[in-house]
A and B are shown apart, each in its own frame.
With several copies, the nearest count.
Chain A
Amino acid sequence: MREITFSEATLEAMAEEMERDARVFVMGEDIARQGGIFGQFKGLPQRFGTDRVLDTPISETAIVGAGVGAALAGMRPVVDMHFADFITVCMDEVVNQMAKIRYMFGGQCTVPVVLRAPDGIIRSAAAQHSQSLESWFLHVPGLKVVVPSNPADAKGLLKAAIRSDDPVLYFEHKALFPTKGPVPDGDHLVPIGKANIVRPGRDLTIVSYSMMLHRVLEAADKLAGQGIEAEVIDLRTISPIDFDAIYASIAKTHRLMIVHEAVKTGGVGAEIAARAAEENLDLLDAPIVRIGAPYVPIPFSPNLEKLVKITADDVALAAKKLCN
């Protein structure tokens, strides 16, 4: 299969969906002239015109609010957050409008907005440009949240998100944009809400997503060398979470670990662990282990930043402990 970057994969998704459906357009800061900080919009204005690829003012409430308004008026907007950290600036538009409008209005309308939000740690971007905030949105009924880890899923989930009649938050890890991977030709779609077993195993289940999936896969390689076979699940969607896949796996492995880059406390791992401990405690032979960032803002200094990043060794070590 051809290999392209994550960034190119999202670009293909955008182009194909904009081609397919004239109602699809995209707006955000520095996406037309610059092509996006990560090149993720490059060439779209040339192809679709700056009427459908709009450089906006620095006005996040207008970007998201107008996205919702355009959706109510029949369009299918993709809005870009520049950095996921700035979703804080328009939380009202996301939480009180985008998520609730259809329900509050008794189903009179749909809100087919996709909100793209580059997140995660990259190169000492420090406390206000490095956050992974996806777990907040688990707690907000009305949204769907996807978190691709590779180019194929990046494309397939973005296309699915654009076609979805529900609002979808699409968190894309900044450090993933330049990474390459195989992407099927043609109209490749990945269903929202379905996890992916990326590595089968019998000794423990490791659930992860986005960037951290790669740390987990490295760890799984190491563990295999030490006789421990981890089953690795890429969630792909964190709202709704595919608990069927998780439960099927722990029915086999009887051990569960969850790994994400976001702060451990109150992260997605909390919901997964809690739900497993509620619904399937019998299946488990050991405590449920969560790995996430320590309880601090992301520090600037590279040697401190390193301490909040999760490594394959962290994962492997914890997995070994869990399997003993």
Chain B
Amino acid sequence: MKHDAEFLRHLYRRMISIRLFEEKIGELFLGGELPGFVHLYVGEEAIAVGVCASLTDQDYITSTHRGHGHCIAKGAKIGPMMAEIFGKQTGYCKGKGGSMHIADFSVGMLGANGVVGGGYNLAVGAALAAKMRKSGQVAVCFFGDGASNRGTFHEGINMAAAWKLPVVFVNENNQWASTTPYRTTNNIEDIADRAKGYGIPGVVVDGNDIFAVLETAKAAIDRARAGEGPTLIEAKTYRIKGHFVGDPEMYRTKAEVQKHFDENDPLKNFAHKVIGAKLLKQADLDAIASETAREIEQAVGEARQAPYPDEAELFADLYVEGVK
């Protein structure tokens, strides 16, 4: 393990932020405090954090309906995220987007997306812009196993491969597309194999091991930045929570889920490794966790207090140049 303690603390802070944020969101939703519907990133933290660790604020990511984790990993702030999910004026999108349309352009997070597979080509376009400007920026597209069957997967990756664009496609194979198991809709073991159809590298990585993700993603991002074109990464993981909060989950057993969580919790994996390697102590992790918990509590308090958007805001931000 070649990482310094500061960096490891950073990784843990982002991962535990996602975990605690999501658990809080689940609680708030079940308590009836949140509008809309929410999809939690619990159990997949190592992917977003491991990938985004090699990106700067100038780099871009596109996200999915399950976007809170990507936001936090890319550096979005808990406060305006929470406010957005509450539908408040102080949210990132002034309450107009909510959980499924959360975005923070200031850190290059180009938005969650309510359309499964809607993000591929946005990332391809951002990468095209970077290539044209020779800016050295990279775009990363996160997408699910279910999303890998949208036609946009094919069109986006093919264009990126043909044009050697600086984009990395990160599949989060959590084995489920809503209630549908991965292997019932895909005839291949590894989504990464699809890379062969585009002449680009396809890599499978343990998505529950942040160090593995870090390394794989860094190589792909460096490659993209060097002008060598896209990579398809498949990070294997498992969806620990229901598809959305409130999902009755009739399609799988609690035991199956528990087994996966017990064996593969990316936070436990991380703690085990860094403590084992004597790089951080449990106390370090606990301190970060409690600080994060406080931050989240504060965000909840502020979001609760914040006003809903003024009704006059209804038509704001539709057009730049007015139309009545």
Residue positions of A touching B, CB distance < 8 A: 25, 29-30, 33-34, 51-52, 54-62, 64-75, 77, 85-86, 89, 92-93, 96-97, 101-110, 123-129, 141-142, 144, 164-166, 192-193, 239-240, 294-297, 299-305, 307-308
Contact = CB atoms under 8 A, between A and B. Distances in A.
A300 B35 contact: yes
B7 interface: no
B283 interface: no
A102 to B, nearest CB: 6
Interface string B162-177: 1100000000000001
B110 interface: yes
B121 interface: yes
A33 B155 contact: no
B320 A52 contact: no
B318 A142 contact: yes
Given A59-B150, A144-B323, A300-B101, A89 B115 contact: yes
Contact of A30 (B36, B152, B179, B323): B179
A124 B95 CA distance: 11
Interface of B: 35-37, 60, 62, 87-88, 91-98, 100-101, 103-106, 110-111, 113-118, 120-130, 132-133, 137, 139, 146-147, 149-152, 154-156, 158-159, 162-163, 177-180, 184-186, 250-251, 308-309, 311, 313-321, 323-324
Contacts of A55: 179-180, 184-185
B88 A301 contact: yes
A65 B120 contact: yes
B313 to A, nearest CB: 7
Which 8 pairs of residues, A with B, have the shortest CB-CB distance? A69-B125, A65-B121, A107-B317, A300-B98, A128-B114, A301-B95, A66-B125, A124-B35
B320 A301 contact: no
Given A61-B155, A108-B93, A240-B323, A29 B178 contact: yes
Given A70-B126, A142-B319, A109 B105 contact: yes
Contacts of A103: 96, 317-318
B162 to A, nearest CB: 6
18 contacts: A34-B250, A52-B132, A58-B149, A58-B177, A62-B156, A66-B159, A67-B125, A69-B62, A72-B126, A92-B118, A105-B96, A106-B317, A126-B97, A126-B98, A126-B100, A166-B321, A304-B95, A304-B96
Contacts of B154: 59
B155 A59 contact: yes
A53 B129 CA distance: 13
Contacts of A61: 121, 151-152, 155-156
Contact of A296 (B93, B177, B318): B318
B146 A58 contact: yes
A129 B100 contact: yes
A300 B118 contact: no
A96 B124 CA distance: 17
B305 to A, nearest CB: 15
A190 to B, nearest CB: 14
Contacts of B92: 105-106, 108
Contacts of A108: 92-93, 103-106
A301 B121 contact: no
B186 A57 contact: yes
B224 to A, nearest CB: 14
Contacts of A59: 149-151, 154-155, 158-159
Residue among A54, A57, A60 with the highest chain B CB neighbour number at 10 A: A57
Nearest to B145: A58
A301 B186 contact: no
B197 to A, nearest CB: 13
A166 B96 CA distance: 18
Contacts of B318: 102-103, 141-142, 295-297
Contacts of B123: 69
B91 to A, nearest CB: 7
Contacts of B116: 58
B185 A56 contact: yes
A83 B288 CA distance: 41
A57 B125 contact: no
A105 B93 contact: yes
B186 A299 contact: no
A68 B122 contact: yes
Given A61-B121, A69-B124, A165 B321 contact: yes
Contacts of A142: 318-319
Contacts of A30: 178-180
